[in-house]
Structure 1
Amino acid sequence: MTSLKTLAGRPAFGATGPRLLNPQRRWAQVHDVRFLVTHQQNARLVDKYKDKLQRKAKEEGLKDVDELKAAYQSKIEWQRKKALTSAASAVLETPDRTPTSPPLQSTSPYPAPPPPPQPAPASTSPSTSKTGLPPGVKTLSSYIDLDKTLQLPQREIEYLWRLRHASDKQSLCAVIPNQTYSRIESTARRHPQFILPLPREGKGAEIHFLQWTFPTPTTATVLFTHLAEFKLRGEFAQPHTTVTHHLDLREEKGLVLLQGAVVEGRGLTVDEARWLLMCLQKFYGGEGEQPAKRRLLESFSGGDDAFKVEELLEEAEKIV
């Protein structure tokens, strides 16, 4: 690194910089033009009103104009400050007024800077949409006509729901009875986070992290993420699969419609995502006594050191 001493001895323009052909003379003087103009204006005013000022000085019992100026010096300063204050107030109020004349045309060769950004209106706030929903959350009415669907029997609703997603190769869909979903939701609210294994042929198992959220009263969402990525990025990790449970038909039809999507290129196939969904249903909504699965959920949620991945793998193998 170049030392400060070397930089201090280096010429300002470098070795190849232009030289001054006519160096400035040391006796040259620079005058403040503003002082010269002001002094000349004051002198002209004194000459113009000299007679009046002399008469005023005699009326006040003073010797000459200089004594008159000295006597009224404080009043003159006060008037000047008052004038400056009024002018400053006028300048500060100018931006609030609507201009009545077109702006001056700029002669600069560069384009004018963009106007300052305006604050977004309340209706387009990033935290909520026009419908009051969190960003990225879709209601069931964005997929089907709810009024017409409520008039159909359960079997037709299931058929139409599967047909609705049949053309999307990356989608997941299912129809869950309300009784089964009630068990799943009850467990999910107690244990909103968990891990599930995904068997890999010849490579053991790959662990995935899941998280439940309940963004609206009629939706429940599960986010699946690679555990390795979640450990690395935390809350900024990108899920590879998102599954939403729609509860709009839960009361009247006894059905919960599931819809999900697998992000292409995130290292997971649709069939593998279906396996994770099946594991989720077995761990969260299994019927009968399942002490081993319940113990794994409780120990994981409580951060218990007794949680063993080996036991998780054993319980997952029983699902097949």
Structure 2
Amino acid sequence: MAAVRVPVLRHLASCSTRSLRASYQQRWAAVHDVRFLATTPHRRNILEKYRDKLARKAREEGHQDIDSLKAAYADAITTLRKQADVVIPPPTPLEPQPPSSLSSPPASPTPTSTSTSTSTPTPARPNPVPKQSSDTGIKPLASILDLPKASALPVKELTAVWRLHHATQPNSLCAVVPAATFSAMASLARTHPQFVLPVPHPEQGAEMHFLQWTWDAATRSATVLFTQLAEYKARGEYAAPHTTLTHYTDLAEDKGVVLMQGLVVEDRGVQVPDAQWLVMCLQRFYGGWDGVGGALGKERAEERRRLLEWFGKGDARFSVERLLEEAEKMG
């Protein structure tokens, strides 16, 4: 994927700093370099050696190609190679719990039968949803909420409970996303799992951030990892994300919503307002707000879609200037 983007990245690197500063002197004074590290020959040799096996596995799991398969397992690879960099979604807060008692109850010990009756005891009902973290380190939604009780609530009350759950965590993010909106975003993310987004700093310019989508079938979730572009350039796949967003689809069919929770890691150079801006940009560029704003909104949505596609294809028409212009219109 990195090799495909080289023409675009060279184009970005060749942009005149003077022209950018002139066109944005009343906006953002400068733009950070956005060139990525090239894939090393050693990693390419390994890929060629196992290409057939990887292609077969990609087809078996419904992915379009090896790059899509790698994107889906990127989080698991990072977890295994760099345990210290794994960011676990925020833990369940301490009491008090919301009045509806949606937090999952602790597992009850198996009772020891003292009856002398010859009747067959009723076996314990298995829990169909795992409550332990998957191999990727993602906690299943069943370990956060009591799903049967959550399913019984109206969407308005479920939204209130989900927000209350995160209210005591200053570095957390949360949202309740309409299932149709998330479906549209996920469809684009499957095709374009990587992108760059700017965070404006009026006194210092715009800082670029690299994002990557990953999927975890075990927890029925999709996670977005945000990393400073400078960090990604320096460390590649070992780069530590500063923000994670996990979208749970467990209630998408029954309630028509997807629950999102996120965590902004302390001391990684990003504040919660910056992460909130990135979340808004993520929704906009991945089609979450398509159709908003009439004809002008449709035109803007098409422009954002083109930038996303151009970046993914390594098309020279992608430019930082156009990306900043679209991001600024969302402010």
Q: TM-score, normalised by structure 2?
A: 0.56
- For the Cα contact (< 8 Å) 1:241–1:262, is it kept in 2? yes
| Aligned-partner Cα distance in 2 for 1:291–1:243 | 25
CA distance in 2, matches of 1:210, 1:260: 14
| Distance in 1 separating the partners of 2:149 and 2:250 | 13
1:5-20 matches, within 5 Å, as none
Is 1:196 aligned with 2:197? yes
SS of equivalent residue, structure 2 residue 186: helix
Partner of 1:153 in structure 2?
A: 154
Query: What amino acid is aligned across from residue 208 of structure 1 in structure 2?
Result: H
Bigger Rg, which one: 1
- What corresponds to 2:225 in structure 1? 223
CA-based RMSD: 1.8
**Displacement after TM superposition at 1:287 (Å):** 1.2
Aligned to 1:8: none
1:115-126 to structure 2, matched below 5 A, reads none
> In the alignment, which residue of structure 2 is the partner of 1:311?
322
Q: Encode CA deviations 1:223-254: one digit per residue, 9 max, x unaligned.
A: 00000110110000000001100000000000
**What secondary structure is seen at the aligned counterpart in 1 of 2:286?**
helix
Aligned to 2:209: 208
Shift of 1:298: 0.7
Give the Cα separation in 2 of the matches to 1:295 and 1:156: 38
Within 2, Cα distance between the matches of 1:315 and 1:271?
19
- The 8 Å contact of residues 133 and 216 in structure 1, kept in 2 or not, is answered as no
Which residue identity is paired with 1:224?
F
Task: Map Cα deviations across residues 168-224 of structure 1 (whole Å, 9 max, x no partner).
Answer: 101100100111111111111111000000000211100000000011261000000
Q: Which residue type is aligned with residue 290 of structure 2?
A: E
CA separation of 1:159/1:132 partners in 2, compared to 1, >3 Å: closer, same or farther? closer
Would you say 1:292 and 2:292 are equivalent positions? Answer: no
- Aligned residue pair count: 194
Which residue is 1:259 aligned to? Answer: 261
Separation in structure 2 between the aligned mates of residue 153 and residue 240 of structure 1, nearest angstrom:
34
d(CA) in 2 for partners of 1:228, 1:244: 23
Distance (whole Å) between structure 2 residues aligned to residue 245 and residue 273 of structure 1: 16
Runs of at least 4 residues of structure 1 off by over 4 A?
Answer: 129-132
Q: Any conservation in 2 of the 1:134–1:215 contact (CA below 8 Å)? A: no
Native 8 Å contact 2:177 2:260 kept in 1:
yes
Sequence identity, in percent?
55
The answer on 1:180 being equivalent to 2:181 is yes
Residue 305 (structure 1) shift: 2.2
CA distance in 2 between counterparts of 1:292 and 1:132 reads 39
d(CA) in 1 for partners of 2:265, 2:143? 20
Aligned pairs for 1:1-320 within 5 A: 133-216=134-217, 218-285=220-287, 286-288=289-291, 289=298, 290-320=301-331
Q: What code does the residue aligned with 1:303 have?
A: G
**Inter-partner Cα distance in structure 1 for 2:178 and 2:307:** 25
Which deviations, in whole Å up to 9, do the C-alpha atoms of 1:54-98 show, x marking residues without a partner?
xxxxxxxxxxxxxxxxxxxxxxxxxxxxxxxxxxxxxxxxxxxxx
Distance 1:168 1:252, change over 3 A: same
TM-score of the superposition, structure 1-length normalised?
A: 0.58
Secondary structure of the residue that 1:150 maps to in structure 2? helix
In structure 2, relative to structure 1, the CA distance for the partners of 1:163 and 1:310 (3 Å cut) is same
Could you list the runs of 5+ residues in structure 1 that have no partner in the other structure? 1-125
Which string of whole-angstrom CA distances, capped at 9 and with x for unpartnered residues, describes residues 232-287 of structure 1? 10000000001100000000000100000000000111111000000000110231
Matches of 2:180 and 2:131, distance apart in 1 = 33
- Decide whether the 8 Å contact of 1:221 with 1:244 is kept in 2: yes
Whole-angstrom CA distance in 2 between matches of 1:226 and 1:145: 35
Given that residues 133 and 139 in structure 2 are in contact (C-alpha distance below 8 angstroms), is that contact kept between their aligned partners in structure 1?
no
C-alpha distance in 1, partners of 2:267/2:204?
20
Query: How far off is 1:142 after superposition?
Result: 1.2
- SS of corresponding position for 1:252: helix
Give the partner amino acid of 2:309: E
Deviations 1:115-152 (A, max 9, x none): xxxxxxxxxxx79x996822311110111100111111
Gaps of 5+ in 2: 1-79, 82-129, 292-297
d(CA) in 1 for partners of 2:132, 2:174: 25
